[in-house]
Amino acid sequence: MLPYFAACPKGLEYLLVKEIEDLGGVEVRESLAGVRFKANLAEAYTICLWSRLASRILLSIHSDEVHNTQDIYDVVYRVNWHSYFDSTETIAVEFSGTNNFINNTQFGALKAKDAIVDKFRDSGFDRPNVDKKGAGIRIECRMVNNKLTLAINFSGRSLQQRGYRSNAGEAPLRENLAAALLLRSGWETDKPLFDPFCGSGTLVIEAALMAANIAPSLTRNFFAFEALKAFKEDVWLEILDKAQALADESRDRKQLCIRGSDMDSSVLNIARDNARRAGVEHLVSFEVGDALNIKQPFGNQKGHIVTNPPYGERLGELLPLIFIYHGFAKAVKAKFTGWELSVFSSSVELLTAIRLAPDHKYKLYNGQLEAILANYSIGEGVLKSISKSVEPFANRLKKNEKALSKWAKSENIEAYRIYDADLPDYNLAIDRYGKQWIVQEYKAPKYMDPSKTLRRLIEAFIVLDHIFDIHSDDLIYKVREVQKGESQYERLNENKGKFVVQEYNAKFLINTSDYLDNGLFLDHRLTRRKLGELANGMDFLNLFCYTGSASVHAALGGAKSTTSVDMSRTYLDWAKENFKINSLHGSEYEFIQMDCLTWLKHCHKDFDLIFIDPPTFSNSKRMDQSFDINRDHVELLKSLMRILRPDGLIIFSNNSRGFKMNHRDMERLGFNVQEVTEHTIPRDFKGNPKIHNCWEISRK
């Protein structure tokens, strides 16, 4: 009997103890990230071939106290390495751990390597060659505090690398972790198993290997123990032949009730190739399927769903997945009553979106990432109702939507705000654009606990779905921040979420996916309507026009001409599209791409009605100089007066909460200034009266 150490990911130690015992190991005891045991050679070979959980098997050689770098050399030198392997073998030495006298693992590896080759030479043997990448013998030196432990890698390359997975499309879930999830889930190999987020098929393939009693490392072409002097080829071949015979029996088996599905057909092709290389292609099946519209694949049979849905490590990755988890849980609840569900995720927050009470939870590690396997029983009834702490938010949403939806319908409005940070714990703006919902989170102060903010946000998403049954495709999440200059509108992604909404008698193109703002400032709705009422027969100017929504209302109101000016080609193209949607065509509708302030200096045309909604601040490189609304509004309005006809009107608006009109200078210049902010705040923004300010300006 020789001593061994079976390494495994943290969290798998308990399972590995039982597996090693079942495979013949004795004196098995749990250790950190592994299991210590004793075994004869036949049992050690069997464990290398059949272990589904171990990462590698190490043959323990020696351990001793070390107190300086010379001690490291001496301890390694005392081992008769030539009794374990010949000098014709190439070696590599790996060293881990540091202490007060060695803080460089490469130096530790060098000292140990020198001791090994010196021992060979001093014992009358040739010096073995060192090959860090292609070595047949790997010696592992591990130092914890002042104790140095020496071992030979008995199994070779990681046992989790079964050899069936291709690099392309490789899932992040390691094979031995997948096997552990199946064991921890409680799945029995004679019961149906389904993975609706199967990716490249690791869970499905590992399940098939278990159910068909196929040794996980059977296709491996080399084990490190084959290079050791003690290797008994006849014993090994007998073990290998028995395992091969069991695998051969599986070839005549009918297809097992083990299936996987995924939305990505290309990754399913990889899964099928992986299953073929693993020898289980005929036992499993893969099909394209949406986990949010999941179907029961086994008729009336009850079984187990074991799955590893996508999860993100950063906030921007995490939040879009909330509805996937929640929608998936709803679909499972509806179609899989009587089944067991096991979900593996690194995000506790995402698991809360499932809104089922787990029977068991296990902490495991996916690499260095801490994760949870949660096991649920799918019974009759509904998902857990929302918690008491969320009820005030839910009640406010229901109250707002009930009142505002009736109002919006009577006004022929399809885009409106139903919630605007009404409650301090839920610092969100929630807008409806037809069937689309947009949740925008106001940037939380730095002193707030990010985990609490995230938890509240997830609760908000769950409440929205609980009340309004929103499909995940119809909900967009964005973070609003105070930004400057060209970063005022942030590009988000390449998806094209475009559709049209109605506003009174006008229609507007909305793009919810590509930019922070969606193409229509909802708080200016009443201002746009008034411009339409005033514009009949007038020459209308829209400066800083954005997507031209005010120009559309003016044109529909009978404006003789409209001129829309903006620095952005993107927004001008958007404005032209808005005109097209409203069947507005003709040379009287002009679109000019230019820095608005530069254009204003050289403009020689007069206008009857001018609308200007400038940015609070801009320092774009395409502008001649920076612009600050508080500093520069008098000069801006003075320039506008130059092109305003005697009886004309300027409607001036901005979103600066700290804006103060310079009445003294405006009076000196002979301007009549009247604030009309109160009359331009729509009903759905009454709770936020400082959303903008608005002024009517004319000559005295």
The pLDDT tens digits for 303-316 are 999 999 987 655 55
Q: What is the pLDDT of residue 486?
A: 37
Taking alpha carbons only, the member of 418, 357, 344 closest to residue 384 is 357
| CATH for the 175-212+253-377 domain, from 3.30.70.600, 3.30.470.30, 3.40.50.300, 3.40.50.150 | 3.40.50.150
CATH 3.40.1350.10 fits domain 498-699: no
Rounded Cα distance, 41 and 26, in Å: 13
What pLDDT is attached to residue 202? 95
DSSP character for 449?
-
Share of the chain above pLDDT 70, in %: 93
Side-chain half-sphere of 18: how many Cα atoms within 13 Å? 6
175-212+253-377 and 498-699, same CATH topology: yes
Decide: helix, strand or coil at residue 255: coil
Between 26-40, 325-339, 498-512, the lowest mean confidence (pLDDT) is in 325-339
pLDDT in tens, 480-492: 554 443 333 333 3
- The domain segmentation of the chain, as residue ranges, is 2-153, 175-212+253-377, 388-481, 498-699
pLDDT, mean of residues 152-181: 86
For position 312, what pLDDT does the model report? 67
pLDDT at 495: 44
Which segment of 480-484, 500-504, 521-525 scores lowest on mean pLDDT? 480-484
pLDDT at residue 112 tops 50: yes
User: Does the pTM of the predicted model rise above 0.85?
Assistant: no
- Give the H/E segment covering residue 36: strand 34-39
Kindly report, residue by residue over 656-700, the tens digit of the pLDDT.
Answer: 999 999 999 999 999 999 999 999 999 999 999 999 999 999 998
Q: What is the pLDDT, as a whole number, of residue 98?
A: 78
Could you tell me whether strands 193-195 and 304-307 are parallel, antiparallel, or unpaired per DSSP bridges?
parallel
Spatial distance between the Cα atoms of 69 and 67, rounded to a whole number of angstroms: 7
Q: Is the pLDDT of residue 123 over 80?
A: yes
| CA–CA gap between residue 673 and residue 275 (Å, rounded) | 76
pLDDT at position 484 is 40
The arithmetic mean of pLDDT across residues 368-379, rounded, is: 92
The H or E element that residue 196 is part of is none
H/E stretch holding 207 reads: helix 202-211
Q: Is the pLDDT of residue 171 over 60?
A: no
Q: Residues 498, 511: contact at Cβ < 8 Å? A: yes
* Tokens representing residue 473 in the block: 């495709």
Residue type, 574: W
In the predicted model, what is the mean pLDDT of the chain? 90
The pLDDT value given to residue 99: 78
Residue 80 — very low, low, confident or very high, per pLDDT cuts 50/70/90?
very high
Q: What's the CATH superfamily of 388-481?
A: RNA methyltransferase domain (HRMD) like (3.30.750.80)
- Classified by CATH at the fold level, domain 2-153 comes out as VC0802-like (3.30.2130)
Please write the tens of the pLDDT for every residue from 384-437. 666 788 899 999 999 999 999 999 999 999 999 999 999 988 889 999 999 888
How does pLDDT run across 40-51, given as a tens digit for each residue? 999 999 999 999
Q: What is the 3-state secondary structure (H, E, C) of 109-153?
A: HHHHHHHHHHHHHHCCCCCCCECCCCCCEEEEEEEECCEEEEEEE
